[in-house]
Structure formats: C-alpha cells, structure tokens
C-alpha cells in the first residue's frame, strides 16, 4: 500500500508558485533567526501581532509561570486570576463605556462574537428585523464565515460566495482613489453620504455598522480621515444602529494611540480586540461592549443567554501573556518607541512619494504604506512575488499586499534597523521591472 505523505498546508500560500517556507528556529527582539543561519528583520510584526519584540522575557516568563499553576479550565461557570486581572487591566486602558469583556480565540472569533452580539442585542428586545450589517468597501475582518461576509468581495473570498450572508456595502474613505471623485483638500467627507442615505431609509433592519477604525489593513493599509469615523459614529447614534469597531489590528498602540478610535474621540458600542492583546505571544480574542448591550442579555429567561463559547475561551496562558504585555506598556517607554517610528515614517515617506513608480504613501502611527501604481493593482499583482523575494534576500520580512508595500514593525525596532528597511524599499522601487504605471512611465 503506498503511503500518503503528510504535509503542512500553509495559509495564503501557493506551493506551485512560491519558494518553500522559511524555517525559523528562534526569534528575539525584531529578528527572526532561520535554520539556515540567516537573520531577518520582522518588519510586519509576524502578521501584525508582535508589539514589544519577539521572546520578550517578561511575557515568556509570565506564560511559563502560569503554565505551572493553571494551564486551562472551562470558562463557562468558572473563572481564574489571569482572566480577572487582564479584564481589570483592559478596563484601565479602554474607553470608559466599554466595560464588559467577552473572551474568544483570535481576531476572526472576536468579530464573529461582535456580529452575533449585535444581532442578539436587538433580538433579545423583541426586534427580529434589525439583523443586517453595513460594512465598508475594502474591509477585512477575518476568515470565518461571518467575518468573510462583512469583508470586501475580494479574491480572498471569491470561492466562498455561497457561504457569505448579504450585507449593505458602503464606500470607504480611500482618499487616494476617492470613491466620489473628490480631493481631500476640498471634500467634506462626501463619501459618507451613501451610508447616511442607507441608515435614513433602512435603519429599521440594520443591527450594526462594522468598521476598521481609521486604518483598513488587509484592504491596502488605507488610512481614513478622523472625520470619516466621527461621521459614522454620529449617523449610527442618530439612527439607533450599533457601531462595531474592529480594532484587532489597530489596538494596543499600533496607530499611535492605545486604540485608533481615540484619534477621533469616538467610542463604539462594541470593540473587537486580538493580535497585540497578548503582545503577539498567544492567540486571544476579546469583544468588549457597553453596559447598554450587556444589560439586554441579563435575564431570567434562558433564551436571552449569549450561546457562544469556544473550548479555549479565556485561556489562562493567553491572559497571562496579555497582563504581562500591559505591564510592559507601564514599565518600558512604549509610546516613545511608537513616536520614534512615526518620526522615521514621516522623514522617509516624502522621498518615496516622489518616486516615479509610487502613486501614494500614507501612514498612521507605526504603520506606513507605499502604493505602487501599476496596471495590475490589487492583491494578486505580479509585483508582489518580485518584491517579497527581493526583501527576503536582503534580510527583511515585508509581505506586500499586492502592489502595496507596508511597514508595520514591532515597537522595539531601532532607528538604524527601520532606516535599513526603508533603504531596501527604496532599492526595490529602483529595481522594479519596467512598469506600465497609470502615469504612463516605467521605473
């Protein structure tokens, strides 16, 4: 009998087109150390999770200590110190009205919980009509069915259309490719008008609007003006529709404030957290909501229970990592590091903007993006594999979103390391195969 080989199937990877996965043996600070003896700068924080550097001893130690005490326990009807302490720590950093925390496993589950919570919020009040969602163009909220439904109709979800429920889709404030043909200097956030119209006429059937506040990440690192989020908040309030802020990526300092919503002084009704919540050590999701929402689920009627839970909900190990990560915000100059990254983005991006291959540059906090103008713009752009290989050869892990290069480093990256990342990007732009750009030039 022939033996079927066992193999690992890697996410977002096309074996036939891509080199074998890089074997990483260990990591420290901003560096990944490979089995081949190479050292790579992790300039994307390992899919946007790492905050304080790899293998930070405080977080590693907290997980090890916790594993010796209580590694796991059912979270229905039971609780434990790490969950209580993390909840208390989050309470201190979250906007005041967001006081109730529902733990889950990762970013996608934090979003699924938010969607279900929003629908049941209305259902528990006897309103069976308010069960639709409004989502933005270019949105990405994860890979589970609900999260895919509110995500953009992109190449990521093309095969799964039959699994996605219908949502109302409205424009995003993608200023470089303005959906309503305005320029930022003169616009009055006109792109929010379709949402205004929609909520005015259909609010009776809409449970919630979901947004990635200020930064749409996987959709192209699109940075929104703060007024866009403010207008969405106003409209939701006016029309009695919940606002869900997916801060899975933007949370924990990534945009220069603890949470992106703070830039706009906006408080959502529900906020989704994950990725950096554990400093990037272990998977953990958290969906936080206001008391108005929580109250509707407290009842003597069992049918008002929120019937959602995962086996590892509230993992003590992940919570221990989360507590240690929050402690690092207090014991180390985290926001100074973030400001130093922002300063370098501001220094280096203008020169890249003038490069003939570049259409737009944008940044917020620690995140910077360089959009190359090309005829095959989009996630499947052929530029991506050229760029990815070019960067890896030079010791930098950058994973362009098609024709969009972005930098999203752990906060501990030094000035010289970040300048090196920019030097390599500059070199890559100069080396780009002759492009047919929208401006007509090659590079």
Question: Which residues are 54's β-sheet partners?
Answer: 29
Joined tokens for residue 398: 């950058």
> Do residues 374 and 403 make contact, with C-beta atoms less than 8 angstroms apart?
yes
Site for ligand PLP in 274-313 (CB under 6 A): 274
**Does 149 interact with ligand PLP (rule: CB under 6 A)?**
no
Which one among 108, 290, 315, 325 touches ligand PLP, defined by CB under 6 A? 108
Q: How far is the CB of 141 from ligand PLP (least distance, A)?
A: 5
Site for ligand PLP in 174-203 (CB under 6 A): none
**Does 373 interact with ligand PLP (rule: CB under 6 A)?**
no
**Alpha carbon distance 247, 264 (integer Å):** 14
**Does 137 interact with ligand PLP (rule: CB under 6 A)?**
no
Q: Give the range of 31-39, 137-145, 312-320, 356-364 binding ligand PLP by CB under 6 A.
A: 137-145
> Do residues 168 and 206 make contact, with C-beta atoms less than 8 angstroms apart?
yes
**Does 140 interact with ligand PLP (rule: CB under 6 A)?**
yes
Q: Which is nearer to ligand PLP, 42 or 373 (CB)?
A: 42
Which one among 53, 95, 142, 253 touches ligand PLP, defined by CB under 6 A? 142
Q: How far is the CB of 216 from ligand PLP (least distance, A)?
A: 8
Which one among 141, 169, 231, 337 touches ligand PLP, defined by CB under 6 A? 141
DSSP assignment of 72-86: ----SS---HHHHHH
**Alpha carbon distance 31, 9 (integer Å):** 25
Phi, psi of 24 (to 5 degrees): -105, 130
Q: Which is nearer to ligand PLP, 140 or 174 (CB)?
A: 140
**Does 106 interact with ligand PLP (rule: CB under 6 A)?**
yes
Which one among 83, 115, 218, 258 touches ligand PLP, defined by CB under 6 A? 218
The H or E element spanning position 291 is: helix 291-297
Q: Which residue, chain included where needed, has tokens 């303005």?
A: 178
Residue 228, phi-psi category: left (phi > 0), alpha (psi -120 to 50), beta (remainder)? alpha
Q: Which residue, chain included where needed, has tokens 């279900």?
A: 116
Q: How far is the CB of 244 from ligand PLP (least distance, A)?
A: 11
**Does 171 interact with ligand PLP (rule: CB under 6 A)?**
no
How many residues are there in the chain? 443
Which residue, among 369, 401, 397, 398, has the nearest Cα to 383 in the 3D structure? 401
Phi, psi of 261 (to 5 degrees): -55, -30
Distance of CA 26 to the CA centre of its chain: 25
Q: Which residue, chain included where needed, has tokens 């005829």?
A: 375
Helix (H, G, I), strand (E, B) or coil at 96: coil
Q: Give the range of 130-138, 139-147, 158-166, 319-327 binding ligand PLP by CB under 6 A.
A: 139-147
Which one among 111, 243, 260, 361 touches ligand PLP, defined by CB under 6 A? 111
Q: How far is the CB of 172 from ligand PLP (least distance, A)?
A: 13
Q: Which is nearer to ligand PLP, 274 or 443 (CB)?
A: 274
**Alpha carbon distance 188, 182 (integer Å):** 9
Q: Which is nearer to ligand PLP, 249 or 293 (CB)?
A: 249
**What beta strand segments (E) does 67-184 contain?**
98-104, 132-136, 168-170
Q: How far is the CB of 165 from ligand PLP (least distance, A)?
A: 17
Return all residues near 19 (Cβ < 8 A) that are at least 6 apart.
Answer: 389
Q: How far is the CB of 237 from ligand PLP (least distance, A)?
A: 23
Q: How far is the CB of 86 from ligand PLP (least distance, A)?
A: 17
**Does 367 interact with ligand PLP (rule: CB under 6 A)?**
no
**Does 248 interact with ligand PLP (rule: CB under 6 A)?**
yes
Query: What's the half-sphere exposure (Cβ side, CA atoms, 13 Å) at 276?
Result: 26
Site for ligand PLP in 43-72 (CB under 6 A): none
Q: How far is the CB of 301 from ligand PLP (least distance, A)?
A: 32
- Summarize as ranges the residues that interact with ligand PLP (CB under 6 A): 106-108, 111, 140-142, 212, 217-218, 246, 248-249, 274
């Amino acid at each position: 009998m022939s033996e079927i080989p066992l193999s690992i199937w890697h996410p977002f990877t096309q074996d036939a087109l891509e080199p074998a996965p890089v074997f990483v043996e260990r990591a420290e600070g901003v560096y990944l150390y490979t089995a081949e003896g190479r050292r790579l700068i992790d300039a994307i924080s390992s899919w946007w999770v790492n905050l304080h550097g790899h293998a930070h001893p405080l977080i590693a130690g907290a997980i090890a200590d916790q594993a010796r005490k209580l590694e796991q326990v059912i979270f229905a009807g039971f609780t434990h110190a790490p969950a209580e302490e993390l909840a208390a720590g989050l309470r201190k950093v979250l906007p005041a009205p967001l006081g109730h925390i529902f733990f889950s496993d990762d970013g996608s589950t934090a979003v699924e919980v938010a969607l279900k919570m929003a629908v049941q919020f209305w259902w528990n009040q006897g309103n069976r009509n308010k069960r639709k969602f409004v989502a933005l163009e270019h949105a990405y909220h994860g890979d589970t069915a609900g999260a895919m439904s509110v995500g953009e109709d992109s190449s990521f979800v093309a095969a799964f259309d039959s699994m996605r429920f219908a949502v109302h889709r409205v424009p995003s404030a993608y200023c470089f490719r303005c959906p309503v043909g305005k320029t930022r200097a003169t616009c009055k956030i006109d792109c929010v008008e379709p949402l205004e119209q929609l909520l005015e006429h259909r609010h009776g059937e809409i449970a919630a609007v979901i947004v990635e506040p200020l930064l749409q990440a996987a959709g192209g690192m699109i940075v929104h003006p703060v007024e866009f989020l403010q207008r969405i908040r106003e409209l939701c309030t006016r029309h009695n529709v919940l606002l869900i802020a997916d801060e899975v990526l933007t949370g924990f300092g990534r945009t220069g404030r603890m949470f992106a919503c703070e830039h706009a002084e906006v408080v959502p009704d529900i906020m989704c957290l994950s990725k950096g919540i554990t400093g990037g050590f272990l998977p953990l999701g958290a969906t936080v909501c206001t008391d108005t929402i929580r109250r509707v689920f407290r009842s003597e009627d069992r049918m008002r229970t929120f019937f959602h839970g995962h086996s590892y909900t509230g993992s003590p190990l992940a919570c221990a990592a989360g507590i240690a990560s929050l402690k690092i915000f207090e014991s180390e100059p985290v926001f100074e590091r973030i400001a130093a990254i922002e300063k370098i983005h501001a220094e280096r991006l203008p020169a890249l903007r003038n490069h003939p291959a570049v259409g737009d540059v944008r940044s917020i906090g620690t995140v910077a993006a360089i959009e190359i103008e090309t005829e095959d713009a989009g996630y499947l752009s052929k530029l991506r594999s050229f760029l990815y290989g070019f960067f890896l050869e030079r010791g930098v892990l950058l994973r362009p979103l098609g024709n969009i290069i972005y930098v999203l480093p752990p906060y501990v990256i030094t000035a010289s390391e970040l300048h090196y990342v920019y030097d390599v990007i500059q070199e890559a732009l100069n080396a780009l195969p002759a492009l047919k750009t929208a401006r007509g030039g090659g590079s």
